[in-house]
Amino acid sequence: GYQKVLEENRRLYNQVQDLKGNIRVYCRVRPFLPGKPSSFSTIGNIEDGTITILTHSKNGKEGRKVFTFNKVFGPAATQGEVFSDTQPLIRSVLDGYNVCIFAYGQTGSGKTHTMSGPRELTDESMGVNYRALNDLFLLSKQRKDSTSYDIYVQMIEIYNEQVRDLLVIDGSNKRVEIRNSSQNGVNVPEANLVPVSSTSDVIHLMNIGQRNRAVSATALNDRSSRSHSCLTVHVHGKELASGTITRGCMHLVDLAGSERVDKSEVVGERLKEAQHINKSLSALGDVISSLAQKNSHVPYRNSKLTQLLQDSLGGQAKTLMFVHISPDPESLGETISTLKFAERVSAVELGAARVNKDSSEVKDLKEQVASLKAALARKE
Ligand code: ADP
Ligand code: MG
């Protein structure tokens, strides 16, 4: 019963995803951290695209919630495995597609690990950013007899709805503006645009960016968890025979921590930050979910983040959201709200199905499957 419903659930989810086109949602579970073991994990069964979250209510009753995504990476997944599922998307930039990759989740759930990696980088631990650029370098060399490519990067930060260039050498923390009409696909023209052609170029620039981010953090506050950072890769290609120009652009975004702060407990600066984060993350959710639902109006104007990404969200552009969760029991509330956000952006209600041992829950699920089937039939 349960197993069959799960399979049906997943099959329909994939069908709906295919209809919707270019929005993908991957879930990644961080492992328990060394030195911080826990009596139990909130993560139950993981199978391809489904993940079961174990919930414990106050009266000790155990429950399960099942969520469905394009892919779920368990705590043992390596950086290489995560990248290999992302590679086709990244490669499409060379063919002139625009791509956005987001890391979403509460602080400490593994966003920076996925995008950049740990502080001490090794070949194995490198995150998506480095691997993506390496792959683009490699592929552009392979294609050099047919197409010549120039690759540039920009790195900016959005903090309290202000945009700053992270690739400034003098640490001046320069404010820059987003332009509506992009020139050659560059919509933050004042931010440094740096040509790159090797891994060491990239590592050098990332270090500058990270240092600039750290400089602006106060001693008490790790600002990196309360700002969005965006590495943008611009690819200009010229087909040698025909002279055809292609321009692709990829944004790799390490989002601010999604945790809800208790408004009764924070005041002043901290409250302002929290409100800005809330606003921009929900603006992002609104944009992606209205794209997923193919709404005619997409509300890009509601935040700097969505304005920045406007040309790369929607249309032919491809979007991948990595949602990160922690296995810790004390994070359960945030884990559920993260997964609910993820569900909203993928605009499919399937995952919300709660499956208890109770057969009435299975009945609910079956009803949802039936209504999705009906929805699918209407689309065909
Ligand atoms: P975030 O950027 O979401 O705040 P981090 O990426 O900094 O979270 O991760 C928090 C801690 O967990 C870091 O010490 C990081 O190295 C570790 N970590 C996160 N994800 C993984 C993973 N998949 N494997 C091993 N360690 C991880
Ligand atoms: Mg981080």
What is the tens place of the pLDDT at every residue in 274-313? 899 999 999 999 998 888 888 889 999 999 999 999 988 8
pLDDT of residue 350: 39
Nearest to 93 by CA among 237, 192, 205, 229: 237
- The one-letter amino acid at 108: G
pLDDT of residue 349: 40
3-state DSSP percent of the chain in helix, strand and coil, to 5: 40, 25, 35
pLDDT of residue 29: 98
pLDDT of residue 30: 96
Reply yes or no on whether the pLDDT at 165 is more than 90: yes
- Between 61 and 259, the higher pLDDT residue: 259
Distance 332 CA to ligand 1 centre (A): 17
- Between 192 and 351, the higher pLDDT residue: 192
- Condensed to tens digits (0 to 9), the pLDDT of residues 70-118 reads 999 999 999 999 999 899 889 889 988 899 999 999 999 999 999 999 9
Q: Ligand 1: residues within 6 Å at CB? A: 30-31, 33, 105, 107-113, 118, 225, 324
The reply to whether ipTM tops 0.95 is yes
Alpha-carbon distance 175 to 50, whole Å?
42
- Between 184 and 63, the higher pLDDT residue: 63
Q: Are the C-beta atoms of 74 and 95 separated by less than 8 Å?
A: no
Residue located nearest, by CA, to atom 9 of ligand 1: 110
Instruction: Report residue 267 CA to chain centroid gap.
Output: 29
pTM of the entire structure? 0.85
Nearest to 287 by CA among 229, 345, 228, 230: 345
pLDDT band of residue 253 (cuts 50, 70, 90) is very high
pLDDT of residue 370: 77
Distances (CA, A) of 55 to 233, 351, 355: 40, 15, 11
pLDDT band of residue 323 (cuts 50, 70, 90) is very high
Alpha-carbon distance 290 to 344, whole Å?
10
Alpha-carbon distance 132 to 86, whole Å?
9
Q: Are the C-beta atoms of 112 and 130 separated by less than 8 Å?
A: no
Distance 21 CA to ligand 2 centre (A): 29
Instruction: Report residue 213 CA to chain centroid gap.
Output: 20
- Residue 147 assigned to a binding site: no
> Which atom number of ligand 1 is nearest to the Cα of residue 79?
23
pLDDT of residue 302: 95
To the nearest 10°, the Cα dihedral for 299, 304, 305, 308? Answer: 90
Distance 110 CA to ligand 2 centre (A): 7
Distance 374 CA to ligand 1 centre (A): 41
29, 30, 73: which to mutate for ligand 1, most atoms within 8 A of CB? Answer: 30
How high is the mean pLDDT of the chain? 86
3 state SS of 324: strand
pLDDT band of residue 316 (cuts 50, 70, 90) is confident
